[in-house]
Structures are given as C-alpha cells and as structure tokens.
C-alpha cells in the first residue's frame, strides 16, 4: 500500500495514556498517526496516580518530564510517604518513606524519579506533546465501529459521534489501546484468560479542604486506614483539597446502588463531622487476566486491552505505556524499511513475560489490603491495644514493602529468550521485587549513570539504535556504523569517556535498542556484523509499508 491510498500509517484506538504514548513514540519518528477516542476529551479516569520511574524515563526521552512536574496540582516538596494508621485521627501503625522512588534526589539507578500525579494530568501533558508532532492527529468523539485486515492494510470504519458520520480509514497498522472492554480485542478473536472478579471495590473522588489539616499523620501521598468498620485507603490528588478514597471491603449486605459515600468516607477516616463534597464514584472489580494473543499481522493490542490486574503497586498504566514503547519503535522500523518480520513476533514474546511477572506481584499485593491486616482489638486503648498495633505494624512492614519498594519490578524486568536479543552466555541477574541490579546482560534495561557534566547517560542515546563504547575512542566502531548505514538502520556511536561504564556494562561494546534495552554486548565484533544487525532488527526486509512522511496526505 502506498501513501496516496492511505489516510494514515497507524490508526490508534483510544486516547488514554497508552494510546497517546504510542502516538508520541511513532510521531517523533515521523510516522503519521491518527488517534480516535470515543470520549470528548482526555481525563475522565482518575484511577492511576503513580507515574513510575520507568514511565518518567520515557517522558524524559519525549521531552516532557519537566512539563509533567510543572503541571502537577501538588507541590514539588510533597513527601513521598505512605502511612498506615487505624484512622486519619487514630494511631499510626507504619510508614514507608520514598515510596515508589518518588523523592527528587538523583540516583544512579535511574534518570527520573517517580511522580505522584493524577492520571488526567498526565494524559493532558501527553496529549499536548502528541498534538505538537506534525504527523499526529487526535479525534475525539470518534468511535471505532469495525475494521477489516487485508494483506497490505487495515480498513477501519470510524463513526463521528458529534456529526453522526461514518468514515473509512485506511492504515498500514492498527493499535488497540481501547481498554478493558476492547472492541479491537473482540474483533481479532483474542480472549482474556485467568481469574476475574476477585472482589468489589468502591472508589470515590471528593473534596475536603480541611482534611489535610485535620489529619494527625502529616502530609503523605497515601494513607491506609486499617480498621474493622471501613478498611480503606485515600490520598490527595490536588493541593486544593481534592482526594481519592477506596473502600477495600464493603460491609456484607451493603448495596452498592445505595451507598452513602459521605458516610463511607467519614467512617473510614474517623472524622465523623468532616465536610465532604462528592465529585464522583466508581464501583469496580479486580481481575487477573491476560489475552491469549496480542495481535495479528497488522493489528495489535496494548495496555488494558491485553492485560488486567489489581491496581496495588501502581503497575497497570505504566505497564501499558511500556507496551506502547515496545510496539511503537518496532512499528516505526517496519514502516521505515529497516525492520524485519521478526520484530512483531517479538512483541508478545517480550511483553507477555513482563506482564505475567508484574501481574503476579500485583496479586500478591492485593492479598494484603486493609481488611486482611485488621486484628481484633486493634483500636482498643491501653497495653493490649498497643501490643496489637505493634503486631500489625510489624506485619505491614514485612508484607507491604513489596508494594512500595518496587524497583526490581519496574526496572528489573528483562526480555529473556527474545528472538531479537543476542544471548552472550552469561548468567542474568537474579530477579527480585525490590532489589534492582543494573546489568547489561542482553535483554536487560541498559544500566544508567549520571555523567560528570550533570547529564544522564540516557540523554545521549539516539532515537534509533545506539552503539555504546565503554572503553576507548570508538574508532573500531566504523565497521558496524558502515554496516548499519548500508541497511538504513539508524545508529549512533556513543563514546562518553567515563571509566565507570566498562565495569557497569562488563563489555567494551553494547548495542542499545531504541527502547533502551540491551540487544547485544561484547568485547569484539562478531565475524558477521551484518548478521548481528539483521538479528536485532527482526531479520530480512519488511514488506512495503505506507510512506512515513509526516506531512503526507491521505
């Protein structure tokens, strides 16, 4: 299919964080994208509040990490603490500092700290960045009705909800980032497998300007209320007094249709006279589901469309953005002519293992929510109550650390046994939920360092592949640079001249993918350099795709 036959290179269904991330990843490479969204704006869902370390590193690549900091409705000095207490006016049980690695202090392990920020704020920052790219268009009030895949294109029917017009859109590829009830998933015949409906959960968005001042535990980003009456968790979303509240267990016999949200908040917090304005409510259930397949030849799923799990740990949205990054650079490679057919085959193989590992962690976290931590007499005065609170505090510190100290999951997941990774025979680092061991073992995230000039090592990686030279002047890299140029493979040779890198990477050379994962490393080039490049780019030559000119017309 050529450009005159097509309106866009990639049609993206869904303008949530995952769809917008895919548009940015593609758009910054000059790929034309059309994002369609059935709602009239971004920002309806406030569920996600943690933009984790890895997602913020992607934001840094996209040039908007600082923009998200500036857009936050909460002050930069807001403590990254998670507090466990019986009530907001009751005894404290435990406290985790620097939860999710959200403190602003620099750390050699990563280029960006996490950020506690409402999802609707992140979505708006992503939307502005996506819209600024010449090849990206976003249409709200537009709903995918159906699509048909042929050998060289996807033809989709998109209905405009505002004008009641249905338009046919031709694209080389389609990305279904359309959430848990994905129409794209349904139409490609993929099914979700696993366990569903663990329990009912009730979330509330509310305003209570006096709550922070009346809270005896000081400022924090999340408070867990451990009590028998209304076990719950809550936290601020804006300095102006906007909060979220989630009841982790509704009392038996309580009808969700007739819940008094104000009463629920007052019971959970212990502040019986708190002035509360309800902004919105949401009854939802937790699932543990993964799609049996993630796509076809030209249609692919990302985010909640292919995996669902409990929200404890803040993994869901961030994992979906990781899907968009992995899929985005591979799709761009196919359209630009330097990617081979093995790239798309690697998408499910790489991401599914990450999904399964992360979902397992979220389910473990879900097994220790407020109602599981309650003990009889927890709120009693006197020595017996104090002993019970110490017992529960010890349990919290032992079990909940894996929910708030998650760097081993966020940065430590690797693409093992991937068809586009070259194994070097070394032992991979041990996987741990909390401890992250930087390693350049192929498939791992490239180890990070802050350099002497104050920049991040990641700041110097290229938009395509990067050949990192950890020792020497890089003169030996001319052969691989020439081989890459012959394949039209974008490759940057990087020689930072930092003596620490040789030990950090345990090799003189490391070939870094566009998503900052290590594809190959070694002290010398393989005899077949072109074969190496073919391997890491999926092998062979892709079938012709749509023109990737950002200013092309449909």
Asked if the structure places residue 362 within a domain, the reply is no
Q: Which domain covers residue 465, as residue numbers? A: 414-536
Asked if the structure places residue 240 within a domain, the reply is yes
CATH of the domain at 453: 3.40.30.120
Q: 279-304 burial string, b = 16+ CB within 10 Å, else e?
A: eeeeeeebbbbbbeebbbebbbbbbb
CB-based burial of residue 73 (10 Å sphere; 0-12 exposed, 13-18 middle, 19+ buried)? middle
Same domain, 503 and 458: yes
DSSP state of 221: S
Same domain, 154 and 14: yes
Secondary structure (DSSP) of 319-350: HHHHHHHHHHHHHHHHHHT---THHHHHHHHH
Same domain, 206 and 281: yes
Cβ atoms < 10 Å from Cβ of 431: 15
For the chain, 554 residues long, give each residue's pLDDT as a single digit of tens. Answer: 333 345 899 999 999 999 999 999 999 999 999 999 999 876 655 667 899 999 999 999 999 999 999 999 999 999 999 999 999 999 999 999 999 999 999 999 999 999 999 999 999 999 999 999 999 999 999 999 999 998 899 999 999 998 899 999 999 999 999 999 999 999 999 999 988 666 667 889 999 999 999 999 999 999 999 999 999 999 999 999 999 999 877 766 667 677 899 999 999 999 999 999 999 888 777 778 899 999 999 999 999 999 988 777 678 899 999 999 999 999 999 999 999 999 999 999 999 999 999 888 887 777 666 668 889 999 999 999 999 999 999 999 999 898 899 999 999 999 988 999 999 999 999 999 899 999 999 999 999 999 999 999 999 999 999 999 999 888 889 999 999 999 999 999 999 999 999 999 999 999 999 999 999 999 998 889 999 999 999 984 333 332 222 233 22
Asked if the structure places residue 510 within a domain, the reply is yes
Same domain, 67 and 210: no
Asked if the structure places residue 448 within a domain, the reply is yes
CATH of the domain at 239: 3.30.9.10
Same domain, 59 and 158: yes
Same domain, 304 and 447: no
Same domain, 140 and 160: yes
Sheet holding 166-171, edge to edge: 142-149, 154-160, 166-171
Asked if the structure places residue 322 within a domain, the reply is yes
Measured CA to CA, the distance from residue 322 to residue 129 in angstroms comes to 17
Same domain, 529 and 392: no
Please tell me whether the overall predicted TM-score, pTM, comes out greater than 0.85 for this model: yes
Provide φ and ψ at 35, rounded to 5°: -105, 125
Domain count for the chain, please give it.
Answer: 3
Same domain, 50 and 159: yes
Same domain, 467 and 320: no
Asked if the structure places residue 358 within a domain, the reply is no
CATH of the domain at 151: 3.50.50.60
Asked if the structure places residue 165 within a domain, the reply is yes
Same domain, 264 and 332: no
Q: Look at residue 185 in the predicted model and tell me its pLDDT.
A: 98
Same domain, 525 and 463: yes
Asked if the structure places residue 452 within a domain, the reply is yes
Q: Are 268 and 225 within 8 A, CB to CB?
A: yes
């Amino acid at each position: 299919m050529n450009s005159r036959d097509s309106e866009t290179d990639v049609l993206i269904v869904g303008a949530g964080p995952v769809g917008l991330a895919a548009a940015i990843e593609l758009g910054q490479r000059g790929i034309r994208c059309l994002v369609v969204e059935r709602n009239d704006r971004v920002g309806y869902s406030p569920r996600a509040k943690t933009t984790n370390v890895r997602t913020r590193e992607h934001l840094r690549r996209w040039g908007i990490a600082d923009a998200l900091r500036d857009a936050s409705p909460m002050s930069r000095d807001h403590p990254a603490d998670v507090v466990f207490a019986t009530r907001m006016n009751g005894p404290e049980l435990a406290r985790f500092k620097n939860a999710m690695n959200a403190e602003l202090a620099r750390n050699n392990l990563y280029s960006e700290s996490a950020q506690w920020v409402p999802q609707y704020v992140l979505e708006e920052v992503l939307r502005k960045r996506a819209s600024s790219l010449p090849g990206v268009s976003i249409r709200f009030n537009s709903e995918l009705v159906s699509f048909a895949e042929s050998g060289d294109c996807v033809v989709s029917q998109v209905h405009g909800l505002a004008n009641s017009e249905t338009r046919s859109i031709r694209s080389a590829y389609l990305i279904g980032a359309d959430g848990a009830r994905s129409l794209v998933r349904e139409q490609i015949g993929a099914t979700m497998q696993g366990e569903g409906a663990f329990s009912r959960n009730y979330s509330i968005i509310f305003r209570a300007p006096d709550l922070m001042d009346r809270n005896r535990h000081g400022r924090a980003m999340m408070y867990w209320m451990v009590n028998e009456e209304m076990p719950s968790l809550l936290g601020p979303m804006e300095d102006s007094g906007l909060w979220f509240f989630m009841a982790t267990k509704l009392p038996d016999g309580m009808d969700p249709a007739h819940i008094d949200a104000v009463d629920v908040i007052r019971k959970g917090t212990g502040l019986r006279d708190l002035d509360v304005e309800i902004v919105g409510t949401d009854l939802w259930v937790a699932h543990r589901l993964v799609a049996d397949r993630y796509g076809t030849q030209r249609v692919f799923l990302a985010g909640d469309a292919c995996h669902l799990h409990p929200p404890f740990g803040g993994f869901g949205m961030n994992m979906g953005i990781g899907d968009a990054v992995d899929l985005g650079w591979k799709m761009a490679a196919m359209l630009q002519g330097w990617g081979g057919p093995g790239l798309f085959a690697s998408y499910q193989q790489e991401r599914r293992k990450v999904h399964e590992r992360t979902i397992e962690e979220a389910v473990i976290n879900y097994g220790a929510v407020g109602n599981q931590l309650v003990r009889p007499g927890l709120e009693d005065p006197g020595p017996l109550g104090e002993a019970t609170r110490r017992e529960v505090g010890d349990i919290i510190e032992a079990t909940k650390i894996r929910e708030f100290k998650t760097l081993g999951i966020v940065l430590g997941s690797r693409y093992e046994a991937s068809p586009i990774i070259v194994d070097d025979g070394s032992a991979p680092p041990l996987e741990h939920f909390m401890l992250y061991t930087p390693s350049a073992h192929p498939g791992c995230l490239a180890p990070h360092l802050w350099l002497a000039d104050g920049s991040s090592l990641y700041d110097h990686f290229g938009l395509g592949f990067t050949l990192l030279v950890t020792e020497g002047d890089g003169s030996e890299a001319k052969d691989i640079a020439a081989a890459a140029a012959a394949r039209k493979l974008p490759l940057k040779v990087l020689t930072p001249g930092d003596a620490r890198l040789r030990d950090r990477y345990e090799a003189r050379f490391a070939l870094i993918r566009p998503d900052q994962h290590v594809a190959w490393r070694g002290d010398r080039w393989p005899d077949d350099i072109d074969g190496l490049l073919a391997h890491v780019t999926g092998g062979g030559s892709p079938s012709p795709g749509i023109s990737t000119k950002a200013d092309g017309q449909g």
